Amino acid sequence: MDIISRYLIFQAVVILPFLVGYQIAKNSHYQGTYTKKILRFNVIVFEPLIILWSTWGQRLSAELIFLPLSGFFLVGLGWGIGSLLSRFLGLSGKSKATYLISSSLANHGFTMGSFVCYLVLQERGLALSAIFLVYFTFYTYLFIFTYASRVSYQAKSTWQTFLSSLFNWQSMPLGAISLSLLLHGLDIDRPTIYFPFDILLFVSIGLQYFSLGTTFKLQNVMTSLKANFFLALTKFIMVPLITGLLLSLVPLDHDLKLVILIESCMPAAVFSVVTSILFDLDSPLASGLFVVNVVLFIMTVLPMILLFSQLF
C-alpha cells in the first residue's frame, strides 16, 4: 500500500468515526462513561502494542537526538505561551488545565505532521518525523498525565501524583517504549514476522476520534471563540515564529531544520481531548478547541506550508 493510499485511509478512519460518535451521542441516550472505557481500553491494549513494535524497529543515531529534543522544546513553548494567554481568558480549574494541555500538545503524528513532512521531503521527511516523535510518549505519560491527574483529583503532592501516574494501567504505553529501549540495549532485533501494524493503528485512531465525536458539541465552538483565537495565535504564529528565529541561529542540517519548522506549525492534538476525557477535565472545551484548530490549519496553514516549501 503506497503512502497516499495510507493517508486517504487514515482520513476516512478519522472523519467517519468522529461523525458516528457525534451522531450517536446526539441522537441517543449515550453515556459518557462508555467513552472513558473505550479510551482506557485503547491506551491499555492497542497503543502499547503499536508503540513497542514501531520503536523497536527504529535505528537511532547520535546526530539525530536533536529531533526529539526539539519536540520537547515545542510542547514546552506551547505550554509557556498558553500559560500567559490563559490569564486573559478568565479560565480556572479544569478549564484552565484543558486549555494549557491543548496549547502544549500538537498533532505531530502521521495523520498531520508526519504526512506534511513526507509531502515536502518525501521518505526522508517521514523518517525524520518518526524520530522527532520519540519525545511524545515520555512527555505525555510522565508530565501531561501527572498534571491532569493532579488537577482532576486535587492531589496534594506532586511526587505522589507522579508515582501514581507512572505505576498506572493508563501508562502502559510508557512501559512499552521502556521495553523497546531495553531490547535495543540488549541488541535484540525485532523479529521478521507478520504483525498487523496498520490494522491496529487504524483501529486505535478510529477509537480516539469516535470518542472525540461523542464529546463534541457545536455550541462549544461559539462559546469559546476567544479561546479558539488565542489557541490559533499560539499554534500558527507565535510557536512557528519563535522556532524559526531560533533555528536560524543553529548550525543544523537543512532537512532537520525543515522537519522541526513544519512540526512547529501543527494544530492541537487529539490527545488533548483524550486526556480531558480520561481525567475528567473540560472535554467539551477540549473537543471544540481541537476541531476549530484543525479546520483552520487545513484551510489556511497547510497550503502555505506546501507553497513556501517549494521556494526553499
Q: What is the mean pLDDT of residues 22-47?
A: 78
Q: Give me Rg for the CA atoms of the chain.
A: 19
| Highest mean pLDDT: which range of 20-34, 137-151, 153-167 | 137-151
The predicted structure's pLDDT at residue 3: 47
Q: Please report, for the chain, the start and end positions of each structural domain, with discontinuous segments joined by +.
A: 61-171+215-309
Partnered with residue 268 across adjacent β-strands are 106
| 160 pLDDT higher than 80 | no
Comparing 108 with 114, which gets the higher pLDDT?
Answer: 108
Residue 190 is classified by DSSP as: P
Rounded to whole angstroms, the Cα distance separating 283 from 276 reads 5
Task: Please state the pTM of the whole predicted model.
Answer: 0.74
Partnered with residue 106 across adjacent β-strands are 268
Give the DSSP per-residue string, 241-270: HHHHHHHTTS---HHHHHHHHHHTT--B-H
Q: What is the mean pLDDT of residues 242-266?
A: 92
Q: What are 45's three cell numbers?
A: 491494549
Q: What are 197's three cell numbers?
A: 501494524
